[in-house]
């Protein structure tokens, strides 16, 4: 079954707004797992506006399921990830200052760079995933970098889901089939929510993990985090 990894960036953003430890990020991660989450995802950014680099080791120390760190592989990010050694690192082509991740790697253009970076993580026992557009050619090039998995950017799918869900999912199905050809595991994330999640999970072959943060935490404001995690797990299992 597809695993649910909860991205807790927005929880850290609320904590940082007051400069205190409320909500307690570490306890929140532990509670998410107790409520059924099968992984915890964080995405530290250069300005540390939500997850801070000093959050990483305390989170690794308590996460019992799977700890996934996302981010652009600049020198500091690589150094910190190698120190913490999460179960998975997801490499995202974010330029400095962006609000959120909104595109995948050009794996053909950056193949040499990615090969070198991926090797550094893999020799340290860290599984690597590349954030990609749902494009079979990008997946094919990713297969030549040494990555273990890819993570499809699902923002375009979510935006077009209510207009025409068949068209919205088509490129993702084709790209997932190419991932199987390349021997790559498939993850997905960005703007997946209670409305579009079940359709996506049922359509994508070999979908191992979805990483969901903004929508899930937003839903928790109304329903509570324990209920919301159960709601998302139910949507995955349908």
Q: Is 43 a catalytic residue?
A: yes
Please pick, among 33, 66, 70, 133, the residue that the annotation labels catalytic: 70
Q: What angle do CA 29, 220, 155 make, to 5 degrees?
A: 90
Give the chain's length: 238
Q: Which of 50, 156, 172, 190 is catalytic?
A: 190
Helix (H) or strand (E) holding 152: strand 149-153
Instruction: Return the DSSP state at 95.
Output: P
The residue to which tokens 């499809």 are assigned: 152
Question: Positive or negative, the Cα torsion across 157, 188, 206, 138?
Answer: positive
> Is residue 234 annotated as part of the catalytic site, yes or no?
no
- b/e 135-149 (16+ beta carbons within 10 angstroms → b): bbebbbbbbebbbbb
161: left (phi over 0), alpha (psi -120 to 50) or beta: alpha
* SS3 (DSSP) at 50: coil
Q: Is 190 a catalytic residue?
A: yes
Query: Rounded to the nearest 5°, which phi and psi values hold at 173?
Result: -65, -45
Of the listed 43, 50, 156, 172, which one is catalytic?
A: 43
Residue 146 tokens, joined:
């040494």
| CB-based burial, 69-85: b 16+ in 10 Å, e otherwise | bbbbbeeebbebbeebb
Active-site residues, by number, are 43, 70, 190
């Amino acid at each position: 079954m597809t695993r649910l990894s909860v991205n807790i960036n927005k929880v850290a953003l609320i904590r940082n707004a007051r400069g205190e430890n409320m909500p307690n990020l570490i306890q929140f991660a532990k509670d998410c797992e107790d409520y059924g989450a099968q992984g915890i995802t964080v995405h530290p950014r250069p300005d540390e506006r939500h997850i801070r680099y000093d959050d990483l080791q305390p989170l690794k120390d308590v996460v019992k399921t799977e700890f996934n760190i996302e981010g652009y592989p600049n020198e500091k990010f690589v150094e910190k990830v190698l120190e913490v050694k999460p179960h998975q690192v997801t490499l995202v082509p974010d330029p400095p200052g962006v609000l959120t991740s909104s595109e995948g790697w050009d794996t053909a253009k950056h193949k040499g760079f990615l090969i070198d970076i991926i090797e550094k993580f893999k020799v340290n026992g860290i599984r690597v995933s590349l954030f990609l557009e749902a494009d079979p050619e990008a997946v094919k090039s990713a297969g030549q970098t040494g990555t273990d998995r890819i993570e499809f950017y699902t923002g375009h799918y979510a935006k077009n889901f209510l207009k025409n869900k068949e068209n919205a999912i088509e490129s993702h199905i084709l790209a997932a089939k190419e991932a199987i050809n390349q021997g790559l595991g498939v993850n997905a994330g960005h703007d997946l929510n209670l409305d579009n999640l079940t359709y996506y999970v049922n359509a994508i072959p070999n979908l191992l993990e979805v990483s969901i943060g903004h929508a899930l935490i937003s839903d928790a404001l109304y329903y509570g985090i324990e209920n919301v995690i159960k709601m998302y797990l139910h949507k995955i299992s349908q």
